[in-house]
Amino acid sequence: MNDTEFDLPPKAPREVIAERNAVADEVCRALAEAGLPVHRGDVSGGPLREPGADVHVDLLVEGGVYVDWRADTELRTTAADLFAKGIDYADPPPVVRHFENVQKSMQKALLEILDSAGFQVEESDPFTHGSAVYVKGFRP
């Protein structure tokens, strides 16, 4: 058996992580003020089961602060089960379309709410962060 070495991406310096955590805390405050349920999944340490906004800090150098929307377990599970069975992507089942619409609508809402609250935000790379919102920081 070969001992394969993996080059793991470098983590950001401690000061950068502290700054990102401060931004993430302010993002949580802004979303809670808007009336949205919000959680710091990266801080709780366990699996996030509750619906709402999941704010987390990516510790890698190229990371940042991300906000994902988590629909209720029933909707997520039903859509995931159908994906696992295989679907026609040109004509997905109604529950899959609904789940995708919820995700897109909430991404748009999160972008607008956080922008209004004074954050620099943008859609994240869908291949690495799905429908999460990337929070660059506070708007100058």
pLDDT at 116: 97
Q: Which residue has the higher pLDDT, 25 or 45?
A: 25
pTM of the model: 0.86
Residue 82 backbone zone (phi > 0: left; psi -120 to 50: alpha; other: beta): alpha
Using one digit for the tens of pLDDT, what is the confidence trace for 99-115? 899 999 999 999 999 99
Cα distance between residue 7 and residue 131, in whole Å: 27
Show me where the domains of the chain are located: 14-138
